[in-house]
A = this chain, B = another copy of it.
Amino acid sequence: MAMELKMTGLTSFMNEDELKYMNPLVQTCNKMLLEKSAQGNDFLGWVNLPVDYDKEEFARIQEAAKKIQKTCDVLVVIGIGGSYLGARAAIEFCLGQMYNSVRPEGIPEVYFLGNNISSGALNDIIKIIGDRDFCINVISKSGRTTEPAIAFRIFKDMCEKKYGKEGAKDRIFATTDKARGALKELANAEGYETFVVPDDVGGRFSVLSAVGLLPIAAAGIDIAEMMRGAAEAREAFTDGTTLDNDCFRYAAIRNILYRKGKGTEILVNYDPALVMFGEWYKQLFAESEGKDLKGIFPVSAAFSTDLHSIGQFIQDGTRNLFETVVWVKEQRSDVTIGHMDGDLDGLNYLEGKTMQFVNSKAYAGTLLAHVDGGAPNVLIEVDKADAYHFGYLCYFFEKACGLSGYLLGVNPFNQPGVESYKKNMFALLGKPGFEEEKKILEARMNG
């Protein structure tokens, strides 16, 4: 079994009957997903994506990744939201947070840009690249999202200055709409190789499309294994009940806890390699469920680090939260604790034990402590942090998210609220077409 959901940390907060009562509702939501019969059904391409994808493009992605590895020291990935989080989450999940510093020979450094408006952060990456060779993967459905557009304008210019127009065209890879939009037009005009942001897959569900796959493959990760993991999860979570399908069960549990006043979910990991996975999860659930003035607020935490930060609150603060712990059983590499003469630090009782053994006891001990303190714990145990398990977990969370959103009674596949800040920003920036709005907003700011 690639992963398993355990109920150990929930028994004092809900009973099995509650899970059973949720089953008919979950079945209905599952049908809504599989039959594409409900709200947001234009964006259900992710449901069958692990088996139903463009094989020719997949092979091109693998080829492009090899080309990137051969021709550059640094890959700059330009994108925001779903065009950023999935790929970075996958790379750190498999290779750790320090992947750029510990990568094997022949793998480029990978930096993610265009996901904020910090000039300091952008200039740092320019300095880090220095006079080394770089390629660019620019990812944007429209090509007009402000953050990535600014970064791409700057890096396209740098790339053309360094390699000439002709050279640059071989170093820029555009992942964008299959037919339309500013970036597609530009790519056609300049002759960039392009990959497709599928029409029926929203950004936060797009990690297993070209959006995520090209940067992940360039970082040296086996994307075929990742797809295999996702395909097996798709198979495993197609049918069943809230008692035997972990995905159905997780969606039901979240809904039950929410109705009991647990309005915040903390996705917990025990390895900093999963920090970006937490960020990916936050976008997935916040954009899918946080609407119509409802939803569970998604937060993430890295233990044991954050047991010395928000741990106090989880143990003993306001009782409005629950935890979902992703526990990875096997470490990428382990360390055995040695001997100290005199045992001044009091650790000799751990001599010969591995750090991961200690970590596993922190996990078990924290579970019991938090449950005693009144924080329900959903446990998701995963064998390894590799490409296969990343694909598997992604699909698990995506499907659970779709089911959860339908259970909550929202359209899980739109994100109308993301436009609000953009409209105001465009107006205040003086973008043509927003003149009236600008006057109104500036009057509000000054009044």
Contact of A355 among B102, B122, B314, B426 (CB under 8 A): B122
Residues of A within 8 A of B (CB): 8, 80-82, 84-85, 96-98, 101-102, 115-125, 127-128, 143-144, 146-147, 149-150, 152-154, 157, 182-183, 185-186, 189, 203, 263-264, 270-273, 279, 282-283, 286-287, 289-299, 302-321, 331-335, 337-338, 340, 342, 344-347, 349-350, 353-356, 358-359, 361-362, 364-366, 368-370, 372-374, 415-418, 420-432, 441, 444-445
Tell me the nearest residue of chain B to A345, going by C-beta. B149
Tell me the nearest residue of chain B to A320, going by C-beta. B263
Contact of A120 among B189, B273, B309, B314 (CB under 8 A): B273
| Complex: A101 Cα to B128 Cα, angstroms | 6
Asked whether, in the complex, the Cβ of A313 is within 8 Å of the Cβ of B335, the reply is no
Asked whether, in the complex, the Cβ of A293 is within 8 Å of the Cβ of B270, the reply is no
- In the assembled complex, 23 residue pairs joining A and B whose CB atoms fall closer than 8 Å, in A order, are A80-B304, A97-B124, A116-B271, A117-B359, A118-B270, A119-B333, A122-B335, A123-B332, A143-B344, A147-B304, A150-B355, A264-B297, A283-B309, A286-B310, A297-B320, A307-B421, A311-B418, A315-B417, A315-B418, A362-B421, A364-B424, A368-B424, A369-B424
| Complex: A183 Cα to B374 Cα, angstroms | 35
Tell me the smallest distance from the CB of A17 to a CB of chain B, in Å. Answer: 20
| Complex: A415 Cα to B147 Cα, angstroms | 41
Tell me the smallest distance from the CB of A348 to a CB of chain B, in Å. Answer: 10
Contacts A303-B116, A335-B122, A347-B153: A366 and B294 contacting too (C-beta < 8 A)? no
Asked whether, in the complex, the Cβ of B279 is within 8 Å of the Cβ of A309, the reply is yes
Asked whether, in the complex, the Cβ of B317 is within 8 Å of the Cβ of A290, the reply is yes
Asked whether, in the complex, the Cβ of A312 is within 8 Å of the Cβ of B415, the reply is yes
Main secondary structure of the interface of A (DSSP, over half): helix
Tell me the smallest distance from the CB of A363 to a CB of chain B, in Å. Answer: 9
Asked whether, in the complex, the Cβ of A118 is within 8 Å of the Cβ of B417, the reply is no
Interface centre among A189, A296, A297 (most CB of B within 10 A): A297
Asked whether, in the complex, the Cβ of B418 is within 8 Å of the Cβ of A308, the reply is yes
| Complex: A321 Cα to B415 Cα, angstroms | 19
- Please name all residues of chain B whose beta carbon is closer than 8 Å to the beta carbon of A420 when the two chains form the complex: 315, 369-370, 372-373
Tell me the smallest distance from the CB of A39 to a CB of chain B, in Å. Answer: 15
- Please name all residues of chain B whose beta carbon is closer than 8 Å to the beta carbon of A304 when the two chains form the complex: 80, 115-117, 147, 421
| Complex: A10 Cα to B113 Cα, angstroms | 33
